[in-house]
Amino acid sequence: MTIASLYIPVQGKPPAQSALPLTPQAIVTHKPIDEMSGIARSRTYSGIYWVHNDSGDRARIFPIRQDGGVVIPPFVSRRDTSSCPEDPALVYEGIQVEGAVNIDWEDIAIDGDTLYIADTGNNANPRRDLAVYVLKEPNPETTLQTPILKRIPIAYPDQKAFPGDEWHFDCEAIFVFQGKLYLLTKHRAPRQPNTPEPSTKLYRLDYRTHRPREYAHADRLASRFGGWVTAAAMSLDERVLAVLCQAPQPAI
């Protein structure tokens, strides 16, 4: 899947969208990563990026490098690989996230040494079990299992029916800004799952109640790149937000 990006200053007016072509950074060939859905750069381990698969996979994350190579713990690479001697890396199945379920994982974000995994995919908008999993970032070279710290249920305050008249409650993009978790929604035409609407809503998680509150209706930004927001990430200095989208065409 090809995704496009729009870079938005957190303060000030957004720049005009350009038509620069996207250049692939790397290709991830590790077979267990068969539908990579989210990526977040580690703040603790140099050169490490955390990724995960989309729906249908186990609850697990993988550490990769910028070149797309998977980081495999040394003790795993030394194991007996007689079942697949042609590729010892095939025995590495990632880091299991204990206490979590992958119903439809869509994005991952990081704040210091804390990871947030968004189980917020909601294509037809019927789900009542949306959640964000919170976990301490594991050491990629010593860990095969890591527990969650908490599961935060997600219920949008403006969704009254499941599905509703508006299909505006799918989320594939989360990011952290000034210590708070934000969600950007992906909108579809009602009962037309493959028809994007050029809009998005921005929600901020209220940590006192663990409920998302609508922070801004960001149609003005979303309409400029067609909607269907599929990921988001904040720069290290928190001055630039990168928003990825899929429609109407790949562009940056």
Give the pLDDT confidence score for residue 168 in this predicted structure.
94
pLDDT per residue over 189-229, tens digit each? Answer: 999 988 888 888 999 987 666 678 777 666 555 556 566 88
pLDDT per residue over 109-136, tens digit each? Answer: 999 999 999 999 999 999 999 999 999 9
> pTM for this structure?
0.86
Does the pLDDT at position 16 exceed 80? no
Q: What is the mean pLDDT of the chain?
A: 84
Of the pLDDT bands very low, low, confident and very high (cuts 50, 70, 90), residue 243 is confident
Give the pLDDT confidence score for residue 199 in this predicted structure.
84
How many CB atoms sit inside 10 A of residue 59's CB?
21
More confident residue, 170 or 198: 170
Winning range, highest mean pLDDT, from 91-105, 185-199, 207-221, 232-246: 91-105
162 vs 130: CA distance, rounded Å: 12
Is residue 113 within 8 Å of residue 44, measured between CB atoms? Answer: yes
Is residue 99 within 8 Å of residue 148, measured between CB atoms? Answer: yes
